[in-house]
Amino acid sequence: MAMLPLVLHWFFIEWYSGKKSSSALFQHITALFECSVAAVITLLVSDPVGVLYIRSCRVLMLSDWYTMLYNPSPDYITTVHCTHEAVYPLYTIVFIYYAFCLVLMMLLRPLLVKKIACGLGKSDRFKSIYAALYFFPILTVLQAVGGGLLYYAFPYIILVLSLVTLAVYMSASEIENCYDLLVRKKRLIVLFSHWLLHAYGIISISRVDKLEQDLPLLALVPTPALFYLFTAKFTEPSRILSEGANGH
């Protein structure tokens, strides 16, 4: 949940930056700075205050995330709202982090975009910021409703979504070989970002007591991109259409 704002920032910056804009890299760096600072501040204000680690309650079962559903009702008449966060602070710390992300974005990004986004029209310069004003409330609701489910399923969600988005990006950018990938720096940034997500998903799935067996799986991180590059020429639509017209 902490990585999602950064990933979405990068996605919308890339989406709205335009092919001729030179400001995308600076916006990517600024988004990384915003989320990093927000994460550090969130850790510092959490218990224990002033240090970069948290004191957390252990998660035992899915119902620990939804204690509000277990408020007692004496005599089945009046519900007593007395439950607390059993997984403290794993549930509320995400909301605090989002608040700091939003504040830092509103303080830093508009000034940066106004100064360096010269390759974009006036109506397009702030679209990545407007997108954030939409996805932050969505992420907040997602954490509030599905925090427990995400806690158990996030490694698999990260792996699947990172594979899908990488394939969609390479297809939309018409990347068919290594030269197409290396010709623009932005494409390499997107590729390395997806590789980091792949690696994070694999590490999250790894068993703590058997790391020496699971960590070698990190060698598979480049495999999806290499598979795409090696097979893209066989699935090019123009080639399939031409072969179909020739009766092959």
Render pLDDT for 63-78 as a digit per residue (tens, 0 to 9). 888 887 777 777 677 7
Contacts of 190 (CB under 8 A, 6+ apart): 10, 14, 166, 169
Q: Each residue of 188-204: pLDDT tens digit?
A: 888 888 888 888 888 88
pLDDT of residue 191: 86
**Mean pLDDT taken over the chain:** 82
Residue pLDDT, tens place only, 41-50 = 999 998 888 8
Residue 20 confidence (pLDDT) above 60: no
Asked if 67 and 84 touch (Cβ cutoff 8 Å), the reply is yes
Top pLDDT among 104 and 233 is at: 104
pLDDT tops 60 at residue 80 = yes
Task: Please count the CA atoms within 13 angstroms of the CA of 43 that sit on its side-chain side.
Answer: 10
DSSP string for residues in the chain: --HHHHHHHHHHHHHHH-TT-S-HHHHHHHHHHHHHHHHHHHHHHSSSTTSS----PPP-SGGGG-GGGG---GGGTS-------TTTTTTHHHHHHHHHHHHHHHHHHHHHHHHH-TTS-TTTTTHHHHHHHHHHHHHHHHHHHHHHHHHHHHHHHHHHHHHHHHHHHHHHTT--SHHHHHS-HHHHHHHHHHHHHHHHHHHHHS-GGGHHHHGGGGGGTTHHHHHHHHHGGGS-HHHHHHHHHTT-
How many Å apart are CA 124 and CA 117, to the nearest integer?
A: 9
pLDDT at 142: 93
pLDDT tens digit sequence for 87-125 = 888 889 999 999 999 999 999 888 887 776 655 555 566
Q: Is the pLDDT of residue 21 over 60?
A: no
The radius of gyration of the chain from alpha carbons, rounded to an integer in Å, stands at 22
Average confidence (pLDDT) over 238-244: 59
pLDDT (average), residues 119-134: 75
User: Burial, 165: exposed, middle or buried (Cβ in 10 Å; 0-12, 13-18, 19+)?
Assistant: middle
Please, how many CA atoms are within 13 Å of residue 179, restricted to the half-sphere of its CB?
0
**Residue 16 is encoded by which pair of tokens?**
């709205």
- Region for 91 from its dihedrals, namely left if φ exceeds 0, alpha if ψ lies in -120 to 50, beta otherwise: alpha
> Could you read off the pLDDT of 175-232 as tens digits, one per residue?
877 877 787 777 888 888 888 888 888 888 887 777 777 778 888 888 888 888 888 7
pLDDT of residue 5: 92
Instruction: Determine if the pTM surpasses 0.85.
Output: no
